[in-house]
Each structure stands twice: as C-alpha cells, then as structure tokens.
C-alpha cells in the first residue's frame, strides 16, 4: 500500500506491470473544512426532506462497497489495483497526483461512485 503526498491511497496485490485494472473510489470529502462540525454526523431538514450530513454520513459509500466487492470476487488479484482518491476541493489536483505517482499506469481504470444522499421522490 502507498500513500502519496495528497493522501491518495493505492494498493496492489503484486508487482505492477501496466496490465492491471485499477478501481478508484472517490469518497467525496467535499468542503468539510467549511462546515462548523465536519466530523459530527447529524440530521438536518431540507426542502427535499430530512437528510444526514457530515463527513462520512452518507455520500459515496456505494462506490467503496463496489470496489471491495470487486476485489473479494476475484480469485487472482495480481492484476488488480485499488485506490481511494482524496480529492475534496474540485480542483482535480488529487486525481492528477494519484495517476502521476503510479510507476506504471494500469491498462484500465474504473471510477466507482455512488452518492444518493437523501429521500427519493415519490
């Protein structure tokens, strides 16, 4: 496992050859520095109904779960890489650093996202 200068995490299960498939989770750490209590999950009332807010309260857990399920389903993980992108300011700097830090770019990448944050319309 490696952690780069912007706190992106990359794991591989063998030597990197450039033939791997990279799964990248993007847990949407947006703007926690602008919240009064970013680490305290809480319920708030919005025009869309009651929602959970706070870092880690609800956003993008589906993408992380998909990445873990993909890794668990494979018998041979030697051609698999997993990454968690720390992007939180919408600058794309963390994504750029993540890919630049790889000694061999993977053959392909899958961005796993999912961020349904609240009640659905009826």
User: Nearest-CA neighbor of 93 among 33, 23, 18, 4?
Assistant: 4
Please give the pLDDT value at position 57.
55
Task: Report mean pLDDT in 10-residue bins for the chain, 122 residues.
Answer: 92 92 79 64 82 63 83 90 82 89 92 61 42
The closest alpha carbon to 62, from 100, 24, 105, 115, belongs to: 115
Q: pTM (2 decimals)?
A: 0.70
For residue 100, what pLDDT is reported? 93
Per-residue pLDDT at 29: 54
3-state secondary structure of 49: strand
Query: Can you read off the two tokens belonging to residue 61?
Result: 């857990």
Nearest alpha carbon to residue 87 among 106, 63, 52, 68: 63
Q: Give the DSSP H/E element, type plus range, for residue 121.
A: none
């Amino acid at each position: 496992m490696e952690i780069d200068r912007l706190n992106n995490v990359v794991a591989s299960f063998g030597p990197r050859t450039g033939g791997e498939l990279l799964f990248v989770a993007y847990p949407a750490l947006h703007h926690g520095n602008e919240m009064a209590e970013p680490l305290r999950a809480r319920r708030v009332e919005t025009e869309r109904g009651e929602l959970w807010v706070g870092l880690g309260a609800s956003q993008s857990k589906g993408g992380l779960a998909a990445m873990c399920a993909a890794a668990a389903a494979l018998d041979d993980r030697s051609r698999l890489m997993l990454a968690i992108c720390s992007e939180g300011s919408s600058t794309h700097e963390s994504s750029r650093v993540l890919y630049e830090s790889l000694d061999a770019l993977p053959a392909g990448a899958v961005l796993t996202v999912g961020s349904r944050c609240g009640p659905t319309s009826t």
